[in-house]
Amino acid sequence: MSFSDLGLSPKVLSAVNDAGYTQPTPIQAGAIPHALQGKDVLGIAQTGTGKTAAFVLPMITRLEKGRARARMPRTLILEPTRELAAQVEENFTRYGKNHKLNIALLIGGVSFDDQERKLERGADVLIATPGRLLDHFERGKLLLTGVEILVIDEADRMLDMGFIPDIERICKLIPFTRQTLFFSATMPPEITKLTEQFLHAPVRIEVAKASSTASTVTQRLVKSGSKPWEKRAVLRQLIREEGESLKNAIIFCNRKVEVSELFRSLVKHDFNAGALHGDMDQRARMTMLSNFRDGKLKLLVASDVAARGLDIPDVSHVFNYDVPIHSEDYVHRIGRTGRAGRSGKSFTIVTRSDTKYLDAIEKLIGQKIEWHDGDLSTLAPSEDEEADRPHRGRGSSRRGSHKDETGKGRKARAEHKAAEAGEAESAAPASERSDRQERKDAIRTGNAARKADEADNAKHSKPRRTGRSTQSDDDGDKVTVGFGDDVPAFMKIPAKV
């Protein structure tokens, strides 16, 4: 089947041709003819399947007749994130190059004024995130009674982000006679309910099971201790191992704070990395994304919300720094690589506390994922477990940050560093040694590890200027200890006991 069989207008076909696409993807072949006939469509498709063009192309064809009026957009596309909205706008620009379409983008994080001016001019296409759309509506700058076509994209993501009440409200503001094109990668019960409420006799097109991962992606699990510094070391090791084959990669974290921490750590270790999370302002997000797309950034550390659905073609690797808590996120994350028939690789870093989530993922995708280098049973006991054992003798077994670790905790960290520095032999099992010997060893391995860190630091990072006494932190960076060399004089006066 070719694009010319679908009923698109000659102007749209010419733009598609110029974009270099010769054959419609299954979601395009399935949805476009029905959308052109004005039918409601329920498309169950993930990003990467060409679903954006599946609604953009018929919309442009249908918009050829008629004109927009001030403050009364003719079509409305709802997107869960600003990046997705901006991406859809790019699609309209690309495929609508032979049309004079007025496109308005209503997204948060940018000023209302420009957006209002565009609405005032009359929008053929209004692309919006639900919150900003309702803000404009409440300010009286927008009437939705002229909307002929409504698109709800990434509906399951909207659900995850708590947008369903907003969507319901928006749907009720648009005439009943509109056409609705509805897309979701998965169909949880809340989404099914929404489609029953707002779609009229939709044509259902399902292109791939939402729970399936592309066969072009080689998936691997990688064991790690649960401490952030252990996970970061595992990640760095993996990136280095992949060498030249790693063209570019997205590294997913579960939380924004981890995105920031990991990003800073990678940069300190001289990796060419950027970050993408929901708290960054719009301009920073767009710059980061376009730098990654253009190949100026090799690694992009991202949260699910920020990265969902982004059109970043040709990503060679996906790293899950954290196992996703929602198993469906795994499918979405992995879907960032191995696109359009290319091969891709994914590595998921797994700690002992992740097994529950891993089981859910393997159940969802219906397959066991191979371990890269032995499973969790081959992982050396971590300091947590050491601490959890009934303690013999002195010291407390409390968990916590390494600042208040026990001698054993410190030793485990020192051993880890020594192992990283290629000195694993000197870090023999704790149980074989007396406490005194352990303490001596901890100091020795700690010193060795610190020296190695400093050497690594000199190699990888820019030197930091500090007049205070320092030691290395988890990532081999200098941190000031206490007051360093700047201890105030009054603190040096001997205390009376």
- Residues within the interface to ligand AMP (CB under 6 A): 21, 23-25, 28, 47-53, 311, 313, 340
If you write DSSP's letter for every residue of 419-456 in order, what string do you get?
HHTT-GGG---GGGS-HHHHHHHHHHHHHHHHHHHHHH
Closer residue to ligand AMP (CB): 24 or 409: 24
**Cβ closest to ligand AMP, residue 84 vs residue 128:** 84
Phi–psi pair at 426, nearest 5 degrees: -75, -10
CB of 311 to ligand AMP, least distance (A): 4
| Cβ-based nearer residue to ligand AMP, 24 or 130 | 24
CB atoms within 10 A of CB 228: 15
DSSP 303-334: EHHHHTT-----B-EEEESS--SSHHHHHHHH
CB of 90 to ligand AMP, least distance (A): 9
Q: Rounded to the nearest whole angstrom, what is the least distance from the CB of residue 248 to ligand AMP in the complex?
A: 15
CB of 281 to ligand AMP, least distance (A): 24
18, 98 contact by CB (below 8 A): no
Residue of minimal Cβ distance to ligand AMP: 52
Burial 424-448 (b: 16+ CB within 10 A, else e): eeebeebeeeeeeebeebbeebbeb
> Which of 304, 322 has the CB closer to ligand AMP?
304
Provide the b/e sequence for 331-364 (b: ≥16 CB within 10 Å): bbbbbbbbbeeeebbbbbbbbbebeebbebbeeb
d(Cα 13, Cα 4) in Å, to the nearest integer?
7
Asked whether 42 and 199 are in contact (CB, 8 A), the reply is: yes
Three-state DSSP at 150 gives: strand
Query: Nearer Cβ to ligand AMP, position 1 or 443?
Result: 1
CA distance 355 to 435: 33
- By beta-carbon proximity to ligand AMP, the closer residue of 257 and 340 is 340
β-strands 478-480, 470-472 pairing: antiparallel
**What's the closest the beta carbon of residue 305 comes to ligand AMP, in angstroms?**
17
Side-chain half-sphere CA neighbours of 310 within 13 A = 28
Is residue 289 a contact partner of residue 276, using CB atoms and an 8 Å limit?
yes
Minimum CB–partner distance for residue 50 and ligand AMP (Å)? 3
Give the helix/strand (H/E) hosting 92: helix 82-95
Compare residues 51 and 478 and give the one whose CB is closer to ligand AMP.
51
- Kindly state the DSSP code that residue 146 receives in the 8-state scheme: T
CB-wise, 341 or 422, nearer to ligand AMP?
341
> Cα–Cα distance between 258 and 279 in angstroms, integer?
12
Smallest gap from Cβ 312 to ligand AMP, in A, equals 8
- From CA 92, how far away is CA 96, in angstroms rounded? 5
Shortest approach of ligand AMP to residue 456 CB, angstroms?
39
Q: Which two tokens stand for residue 430?
A: 């704790």
Q: Which residues 6+ apart lie within 8 Å of 46 measured at CB?
A: 185, 208, 210, 331, 332, 335
State in angstroms the smallest separation of the CB of 302 from ligand AMP: 16
Q: Whose Cβ is closer to ligand AMP: residue 49's or residue 457's?
A: 49
Least distance to ligand AMP from the beta carbon of 313, Å?
5
* Nearer to ligand AMP (CB atom), residue 144 or residue 205: 205
Closest contact distance (angstroms) between CB of 207 and ligand AMP is: 10
**Residue (23 or 447) nearer to ligand AMP, CB:** 23
